[in-house]
Amino acid sequence: MFRKTVLLGISVASVLAMGSAQAKTIRIAEHRPARIDALKKVVPEIEKKYNVQIEVIEYPAPEKDYLTKLLTELGAGNAPDIFTAPHGSDVADMVAAGYLAPITKELKAWDGYSQLFDVGKVMATSQDGQIYVLPAMLNVQQLYYRRDILEKAGISTEQPRTWAELLDRAKEIKAKTGAYGLLFPAGVTWGDGAFVEGFRLLLVGTSTPQIVTENGKLNLTGQGIKDVFGFYADLINNDLMPIQPLLEPEPWVAPKYEMFPAGKLVVTTGGSWGYIYDWGAQSKNPIPNVTQVVGTWEVPGKTEGQYVLVDLESPWAVNAKSPDVALAKKVMLELGSVNADVAYAQNLGNIPGRVDAAADPDFQKLTELVPILTALKNGTGTHLNTAEGFSAVAEGVARGTEALLRKQTDAAGAQKILVDYVKEVLGGDAVK
Amino acid sequence: MSKSKPAFSAIFDRDVVAYATLSLISIFCLLPFVWLILASFDKNASLFLRWPSPWTLNNYIGIFVREGGARWFFNSFVVVGTATIIVLLLAGLGGYALSRMKVWWKRPFLYTIILVRVVPPPALIVPLYKILLTGNEAVGSFVRSLVSPESVRPAMLVVGLIDGYFGLTLVFAAMQLPLALWIMKTYFDTIPHDYEEAALVDGANLFQRIRLVIAPLALPGLAAAGLFAFISAWGDFLMPLILLSSSELQMLPLGLFRAFLRVQQIDYGFLSALAILYMLPAVIAFGFARRYFVQTFSGGVKA
Amino acid sequence: MTTYDKRSSWQLQLLLLPCLLLIGALVIYPALYSVYLSLTNASLVGVAATHPRFVGPGNYLRLFGDGGFWHSLVVTLWFVLGSAVIGQFLLGLGSALLLRRPLRFKNLINSIILLPNAVPEVVAGYIWISMLAGGEQSTLNRLLGLLGIPSVQWLERFPLVMIIVANTWRGIASAMILMMAGLSAVPPEICEAARIDGASPRQIFRFITLPLIMPTIFLYMLVSTVTTISIFGFIYALTRGGPGNATEIIGIYIYNQSFTAFQLGYGSAVAVVTLVISIAIGLFYVRALKVQV
């Protein structure tokens, strides 16, 4: 049986293999069709440049399933040569496991290095001073609102200055239009989203904006965290935010792709991708004239300040156990080219991680994104320092906000859920 | 079935109750399919029930034209089909052995293999992956010694234990074997020893006895065991999700899982059409197997 | 034992060898490996990913104080009891009994009941999402709306009951097939004789049919309990354990520990405890139903 299978396999294989050129193969893991399409636009160029064969492997789209498969393979030592960490906050955990090859030397010698945004370089640098990921794209988040609806209802479109102002605005929206006034992602089914698309946007504007201590521990007992949970509790208890959809299996679909375009939700957190992917050219349910109709506010701080949150968007990394680390690094750096950045920006609406992408004629056509890139160049953008254990923090925040959504606890209780969860997962000594 | 003839009204009453109960159960069984079927013909299908407008066949056509539907079907049939054949061979021989032999570890063995299936698959992913990877490296070096370098990858797609037909086939076979062994063992228990003994008197050795006497008698049991194995492996998605990567190897559950989990924008029409096509072989297999089931299980368990 | 028997026994064990190898390598070994993992702090991320430490019974001690684990165990217990032991069994036995009658459309009804069993778990999962999720819009609410019944947020208000109903739907057929087989082994003459002696149908069922199909019931209970405890894909596709952790059956709990919290060691400990509990249940069935294999 076995011999027959082998023989059969070999004969099938040799037929399949005929005509294929002999070149080294680099395997790249990518997920979500929009990202894969963007990657495939630049692959032929890279293949030609380094005489390699690039195999793009489609991974499951939801981040949880993507990570399950990728980490199983990384753990076993069999992962693709190049892959992405979903968020900047996942990098530290992967570095600690020894999965990522350091690229400090190669990155600094790369001709694109000088063009990278400083904020990207800072976030890509690990606590040990080494760089393990390429900050090719940036994820820029703030608040998005329906200008048309606010104007029609005679509600101010001014930038809110404090949390209190923001809440009042949401209450006014609810009272005058009947629509939901504000959405911050929350709950367990949104996965990382409760933290990366919601919680941390508020956290950077509190009295304890950073949660990583100098020695790399996590401080989760600060007043800031409690205040953010308190803000969530206010939104939920005053019925300002749609709760039911957030408890369902795909919590983002109803509010972001249905309620916001329909005007039943007026303000939401969001990223630059909103103009392209959620409601723009790549959307199935686009809002006509999206850049006019949908305006942006920076996220107000609790009592002062305004914040635009910047994070690494799916930064590229090289597998430390790749059979040809050197070649994989060369190929990976090509994924930080202007061409690659623009391809991803076109499909997803994220912001290129390099300054010179602004001058690219194809990027210029993405008029929705140009002002955001310009603003980054001028130094807007706050980021959250990360450390090992951030994936546990994200899950703990999801659990805490879930309890609030279900009205089972208050701000202090939600904070306790977060602290207890992180302690349970990471052990007591990782938490200050 | 009863041969007595109770009063007409009694039959009527009881039959009405029977019809009513069975109708309710049938409605319960059918109701969830209503949305699936309508959505698969709906150009603008949503997750929830609506009357198709406009009706379309494009969802079905798109599976083969826009996506690699034919490939998904082919791969699913190759992997699940081969696994089923392996299960049939091994469970046929093994079930016969278990039925006829008298060793102390027989019962512990039977209980072990059925109880160990209680471990939910997520707990087995990492150990399974590790052992398959070890095997895969052995197979890899064997293949490299046999074929030219450029043929290694295509060859591994077939015989590889990770990201190859062969590995997933073995996993499916191993996962379905315990139940199949139980079915075959209990089935052989119902077949009297007389036939084998007659063959023995005629001087047939063990393998002749199996080929000429046992195998033909075992057919209904094999049909039931094989179809159970086929249906169960056909529906599994976790193992293909973890063990396969290459686009050449994509299978139906992955195509479906992916379509479903394309996070932002799900094409429910496409999804429903694919789900129906995916269900079809299992449904047909079930229809085919139905008449063997009762035959196989009746008197299967000895008190 | 004759020489023939000895040689035959040796040959028979040889026939079983391929099964032993395959099951040993891909079923038993991974289970044993889980036992080993459960004694370490193995993880998928962080330092413990490359340098797991031996922690002895640490994970087990933690597990006994872990409310999430006990909650999950209770959810699993209700899930198994509600869907496998009660729902599927009663509906399956009922269908099997009723279908013994010479009814019209018998084959049609039979096929309809078999249909859900052929549905792959991912498809089943999202068929039921359509039925139950989405508040007023859900398919079930729209259908009930046609009858004038007000809508209910099914998954939100009755999560556990709903996954029991959905899983019952999936499994009626397997219970029915086994029960039909068991019933077909009951000789009609005995029932007939009892009837002539004046036994009521209920008495016939209670004192004749039921004892005779007890071994079948045992097999059904054993297999369905085991397979229901190990369910993962269906509930993962349907609720992912939510809302909250209301439907976090043990398979989902293990998945969350191993792949959301990335704690392989702890997840494995949960799996091992599940295995031990199921062995206890298996022994209980054997004793309670007094059957032998």
Query: Residue ranges of the domains in chain A?
Result: 25-135+313-377, 140-308+386-430
Q: Which CATH number fits domain A25-135+313-377: 3.40.190.10, 3.40.190.290, 3.30.1330.10, 3.40.50.450?
A: 3.40.190.10
Cα angle value A66/B32/B279 (rounded, 5°) = 60
Nearest to A61 among B126, B153, B261 (CB): B261
Local structure of residue B118 (DSSP, 8 states): G
**pLDDT value at A163 more than 50:** yes
- Read off the pLDDT of each residue in C58-74 and give the average, rounded to a whole number: 90
Burial group, residue A26, by CB count within 10 angstroms (0-12, 13-18, 19+): buried
Number of domains in chain C: 1
Nearest to B127 among C34, C110, C251 (CB): C34
- Rounded Cα distance between B169 and C259, Å, is 25
Which residue range(s) make up the domain with C97? 36-42+54-289
3-state SS, residue C54: strand
**pLDDT value at A17 more than 60:** no
Determine the angle formed by the axes of helices C210-229 and C89-98, rounding to 10 degrees: 140
Establish if B1 belongs to a structural domain: no
State which amino acid sits at residue A298: E
Pair of tokens at residue C228: 């229901």
The average confidence (pLDDT) of chain C is 87
Q: Report pLDDT for B261.
A: 60
Residue ranges in chain B whose pLDDT is less than 70: 1-13, 260-265, 294-303
Q: Report pLDDT for B9.
A: 47
Q: Report pLDDT for A227.
A: 96
Establish if B208 belongs to a structural domain: yes
Residue C120's contacts (CB-CB under 8 Å, 6 or more residues apart) are: B234, B235, B236, B237, B253, B256, B278, B279, B282
Neighbours of B64 (CB within 10 A): 14
Establish if B27 belongs to a structural domain: no
**Residue numbers in B near C102 (CB within 8 A):** 1
What CATH code is carried by the domain that includes residue B85? Answer: 1.10.3720.10
**pLDDT value at A7 more than 80:** no
Pair of tokens at residue B71: 């490939």
Number of domains in chain B: 1
CA C3 to chain centre: 44
**pLDDT value at A64 more than 90:** no
**Residue numbers in B near C26 (CB within 8 A):** 128, 131, 170-171, 174-175
The average confidence (pLDDT) of chain A is 88
Residue C80's contacts (CB-CB under 8 Å, 6 or more residues apart) are: C225, C228, C229
Residue tagged 């034992």 (tokens): C1
Establish if B16 belongs to a structural domain: no
- Residue B123 contacts A, CB cutoff 8 Å: no
Q: What is the 3-state secondary structure (H, E, C) of A252-293?
A: CHHHHHHHHHHCCECEEEEEHHHHCCCCCCCCCCCCCCHHHH
Percentage of chain B surpassing pLDDT 70? Answer: 90
Q: How many CB pairs under 8 A join A and B?
A: 98
- Read off the pLDDT of each residue in A416-425 and give the average, rounded to a whole number: 90
- Residue B268 contacts A, CB cutoff 8 Å: no
Q: DSSP states of A62-123 as a string?
A: SHHHHHHHHHHHHHHT---SEEE-SBHHHHHHHHHTT-BPP-HHHHHHSTTGGGB-HHHHHH
Same fold, A25-135+313-377 and A140-308+386-430: yes
Q: Report pLDDT for A12.
A: 53
Q: How many CB pairs under 8 A join A and C?
A: 71
Percentage of chain B surpassing pLDDT 90? Answer: 24
Residue C10: pLDDT band by 50, 70, 90 thresholds?
confident
Query: Least CA distance to B33: which residue of chain C?
Result: C127
Q: DSSP states of B138-177 as a string?
A: HHHHHHHHHS-HHHHHHHHHHH-SSSSHHHHHHHHHHHHH
- Nearest CA distance, A61 vs chain B (angstrom): 6
- Rounded Cα distance between C39 and A142, Å, is 45
- Read off the pLDDT of each residue in C193-213 and give the average, rounded to a whole number: 86
**C176 sits in which H/E element:** helix C159-184
* Alpha-carbon distances of A242 from A259, A431, B165, rounded to whole Å: 9, 33, 46
* Alpha-carbon distances of C79 from C86, C122, C167, C247, C267, rounded to whole Å: 10, 19, 9, 9, 20
- Rounded Cα distance between C275 and B113, Å, is 12
**A350, A273 contact by CB (below 8 A):** yes
- Rounded Cα distance between A59 and A362, Å, is 28
C77-120 confidence digits (pLDDT tens): 999 999 999 999 999 999 998 888 888 888 888 889 988 988 88
Establish if B82 belongs to a structural domain: yes
- Read off the pLDDT of each residue in A250-263 and give the average, rounded to a whole number: 88
- Residue A365 contacts C, CB cutoff 8 Å: no
**pLDDT value at C292 more than 70:** no
Neighbours of A320 (CB within 10 A): 20
Establish if C253 belongs to a structural domain: yes
Provide the sign of the torsion angle of the four alpha carbons B177, B181, B187, B191, taken in this order.
Answer: positive
* Alpha-carbon distances of A38 from A84, A272, B25, rounded to whole Å: 14, 17, 50
Q: Which residue has the higher pLDDT, B100 or C3?
A: B100
- Read off the pLDDT of each residue in C212-221 and give the average, rounded to a whole number: 84
A179-237 confidence digits (pLDDT tens): 999 999 999 888 888 999 999 999 999 999 999 888 888 999 999 999 999 999 999 99
Query: Least CA distance to B83: which residue of chain C?
Result: C22
Establish if B61 belongs to a structural domain: no
Local structure of residue A160 (DSSP, 8 states): P
Q: Report pLDDT for B3.
A: 43
Residue tagged 């699993």 (tokens): C76
Establish if B255 belongs to a structural domain: yes
Specify the length of chain C in residues.
293
Q: Choosing among B124, B125, B172, which should be mutated to test the C contact, i.e. which has the most C CBs within 10 A?
A: B124
**A269, A197 contact by CB (below 8 A):** yes
- Helical H segments across chain B, by residue range: 8-40, 58-65, 69-100, 106-115, 121-146, 149-159, 165-190, 194-201, 206-209, 215-235, 238-243, 252-260, 268-297
- Rounded Cα distance between C37 and B112, Å, is 20
Residue C198's contacts (CB-CB under 8 Å, 6 or more residues apart) are: none
**pLDDT value at A331 more than 50:** yes
Fold of A140-308+386-430: D-Maltodextrin-Binding Protein; domain 2 (3.40.190)
State which amino acid sits at residue C135: G
- Nearest CA distance, B154 vs chain C (angstrom): 25
Which residue range(s) make up the domain with B172? 67-297
Establish if C13 belongs to a structural domain: no
**pLDDT value at C242 more than 50:** yes
- Nearest CA distance, C260 vs chain B (angstrom): 12
Establish if C31 belongs to a structural domain: no
Q: Do C240 and A249 touch (CB under 8 A)?
A: yes
Pair of tokens at residue B109: 């063995």
Complex confidence, ipTM: 0.87
B264-275 confidence digits (pLDDT tens): 567 788 888 998
**Residue numbers in A near C267 (CB within 8 A):** none
C143-201 confidence digits (pLDDT tens): 888 888 888 888 888 999 999 999 999 999 889 988 888 888 788 888 888 888 888 88
Q: Choosing among B12, B17, B22, B170, which should be mutated to test the C contact, i.e. which has the most C CBs within 10 A?
A: B22
Determine the angle formed by the axes of helices A390-405 and A88-96, rounding to 10 degrees: 130
Q: Report pLDDT for A326.
A: 93
Nearest to C23 among B32, B33, B174 (CB): B174
